[in-house]
Structure 1
């Protein structure tokens, strides 16, 4: 009997090491599909207690996603297949396509965040109601949940014990080979099944526009699997930067102080197992040291939050987080939020990071921690609003990493220790010559490093001599952080 399978691509926009695609390719005919879900664009309610409204997906990630879908379509076409694209809710689009193409089975990636789980559950219900078999596969982490030392429901809520147990008892599975792809079902056109156009940014959301070119960006981040492999090769092999990763990973300016692989990992253009395999090859052929280990250490941090969201689900999105704290009075000061979002807090290190995010969709990891700490610990603004701001703008947004890290810094997540940062001390340590601040805050370009991180220390004469008047050219600080 001839069997037709449909593979629903989600955040696994690749053909290499894609267990979903490999499993679906055993069918006689294959129909690959990607859905631009309208619920992921535009202004939406956060939901739950003390909800607020925010923009779900900004221009930077939307641009990256469109390019990644386009690259996947080209890759599948080059292998004798195709990619149908729909701008519709997956539960509707997939059920319609399955009926039109006489699909027997649907395969897709399962993801841990509550919104993602809700969508796949609706898809599963719609398809099974029509008699279509549904198969889910876990593909988004370095370690498979079945290979953890304990079930994900019993993993430790603190990273170090989790890491030590995984490193001692678990093994990374081998990447899956690219399968030979069966042809699409015959006569799709006669069944009214068209390939479908990739929607423009404006079609996704009336407020989205193409991001303007930015010369100061650390990387262009082109979407797609080939671009991911190019970056992996450039960082690990051509540039030989992996050998110094641990020493340079907290840098602020430049393309190669860190791997910059996160956009491709989070949209699934690159699998973490492929990265791990490349690191192991590098260790065999060049050097194995603390830096090569540390990149794998960071991938395991990413796994930790994926499994934590699988374990705790929606509890991560409560004001009190998974610790259910009720002792913090989270504020919702609209003017303070406006100044944070505009990069006008008067704290240069914070503002520089926010301005880079707005201009490029990227922010250094060190900056993310400090902005989160400033919002949650210095201003005591609702940490979820800050995390939602990152969700809008980050080109490498992942729900588990983003909200997990914000909760961690805000003291409502996976560590009970005080995670507040001394922002000024951090600025002096990681931007000692104020090169990063001057790069993103041109108003302070003429201010010497001794004052660039604390311009409020300048008297009127010094302000005049450096051509910057606080409160006019650059804001007075929202709060004083003098240490």
Structure 2
């Protein structure tokens, strides 16, 4: 039997890994991961991404070795590494999952496909999660997703019989990577992923529906599995089925009058629905990868491109906008690599509506900061918050309202904006409203220790909406919106509410 090469990308696990299982049925298996220069040099890369991936690779290597396999980790372009491996093994089959990545990964895969044809190597690409390649229509996509989620979990193979010894991943210092900026406490790897999911489903997740909105409670009340999904330490199908199993358990406990916390019912249902949305957004990127670079709705081209304010953008990046909730979120994200979804949305909203920044530089700023960076979700979400999808409700978040709703005691702001710590709770979300005496008692000099707001939220967003709706009302823009719906719409029943959502 000939050697089978399994090319691991962002699917670093042995459970529910169809390419690995299929390859093992055909012959001895060599696992391969390529550390590509394009990845290390890309603007969306951060050292923390490498560290998490390396932890995941060490976990994967151990799992493969326990099954008689070996993981080969090499540095270079895909063609360089595959050429070298081909010279030593003369393999005829290459296995991998389909990948939905940024432009350079798409171009690399096309190059690898040509290389395989030239070498007579058959490249077997298997579907990954609920994303459908070459999807002709969004009609019926939900049914395809459901069928994939219900398929039996693929068990990890044994007896891999690798003909090569393992080659473990290099360290960050060996590669000359810069000092780590993020301080994430999450460790990569399949076992860590399963432990995190289990703790959420059985311990931390009871109040998920409420906890997920606040950066204070979200750090524990959210599932925290997003980095593991991004790097494939878990498959979406695994999460879906384990959640369904937990839902059945909760249902049985409720029927028997033995359910200790009734909040589990709604929280698990809410979490389950978000798994579908996870794939829904990546499907947009798969169907139209160009949205990494341009507006989903081309009618909004030119809306913000000529108005970039570098001073305002720099203040945002530094967490010195004068809006404490915005600045606390920026500083927290920079330090930890994580922020709950609502606060992520608020940051993008503030950047694109209050500061009138284009979503593209904002997306490139945030991508390296998110430990769970997933391009398919990231670019779609940035555009949705910026209003350039043309089909979603306008989302404008008031930073002061968000602080008072989701940091009622001011604890989050005090932790990350300590220069305001002595302000009374009633004023900490809007220090410019404090009197001279109140500022003096708190030992604060605005503009010295903490800046005044870059813009007035009400005035800035009113002007932004005026410019935005002047474009949205155009007939050609309305027609283009229908094209976007046909290509990317979720096929949900339309909302009874109007398209203009109230300020959040």
TM-score (norm: length of structure 2): 0.83
Gaps of 5+ in 1: 45-54, 189-193, 214-218
Residue 125, structure 1, aligned to residue 114, structure 2:
yes
How many aligned positions are there? 444
TM-score (norm: length of structure 1): 0.86
Cα gap change, 1:88/1:429 in structure 2, threshold over 3 Å: closer, same or farther?
A: same
Cα gap change, 1:266/1:474 in structure 2, threshold over 3 Å: closer, same or farther?
A: same
Gaps of 5+ in 2: 252-263, 460-504
Cα gap change, 1:170/1:68 in structure 2, threshold over 3 Å: closer, same or farther?
A: closer
Q: What is the match of residue 153 of structure 1?
A: 136
Residue 15 (structure 1) shift: 0.5
Q: What is the match of residue 328 of structure 1?
A: 303
Superposition RMSD on alpha carbons, in Å?
2.3
Contact kept? 1:407, 1:414, Cα under 8 Å: no
- Corresponding residue SS for 1:7: strand
Cα gap change, 1:414/1:271 in structure 2, threshold over 3 Å: closer, same or farther?
A: farther
Distance 1:204 1:322 in 2: 40
Cα gap change, 1:174/1:168 in structure 2, threshold over 3 Å: closer, same or farther?
A: closer
Distance 2:107 2:290 in 1: 11
- Corresponding residue SS for 1:41: helix
Comparing 25-34 with 309-318, greater Cα deviation is found at: 309-318
Contact kept? 1:250, 1:257, Cα under 8 Å: no
Comparing 106-115 with 299-308, greater Cα deviation is found at: 106-115
Distance 2:208 2:141 in 1: 23
Distance 2:351 2:433 in 1: 22
Q: What is the match of residue 174 of structure 1?
A: 152
Residue 203 (structure 1) shift: 4.1
Cα gap change, 1:365/1:81 in structure 2, threshold over 3 Å: closer, same or farther?
A: same
Residue 115 (structure 1) shift: 3.1
Cα gap change, 1:167/1:37 in structure 2, threshold over 3 Å: closer, same or farther?
A: closer
Contact kept? 1:451, 1:457, Cα under 8 Å: yes
Residue 72 (structure 1) shift: 1.0
Contact kept? 1:95, 1:127, Cα under 8 Å: no
Cα gap change, 1:205/1:474 in structure 2, threshold over 3 Å: closer, same or farther?
A: farther
Q: What is the match of residue 222 of structure 2?
A: 258
Cα gap change, 1:307/1:181 in structure 2, threshold over 3 Å: closer, same or farther?
A: farther
Distance 1:299 1:62 in 2: 25
Runs of 4 or more above 6 Å deviation? 165-170
2:162 to 176, 181, 184: 184
Q: Give the 5 Å matches for 1:54-453.
A: 55-113=43-101, 114-139=103-128, 141=129, 143=130, 145=132, 152-155=135-138, 172-185=150-163, 188=164, 195-204=166-175, 206=177, 208-211=178-181, 220-237=185-202, 239=203, 241-254=204-217, 255-287=219-251, 289-318=265-294, 320-326=295-301, 328-330=303-305, 331-413=307-389, 415-453=391-429
Distance 1:83 1:119 in 2: 21
Contact kept? 1:61, 1:393, Cα under 8 Å: no
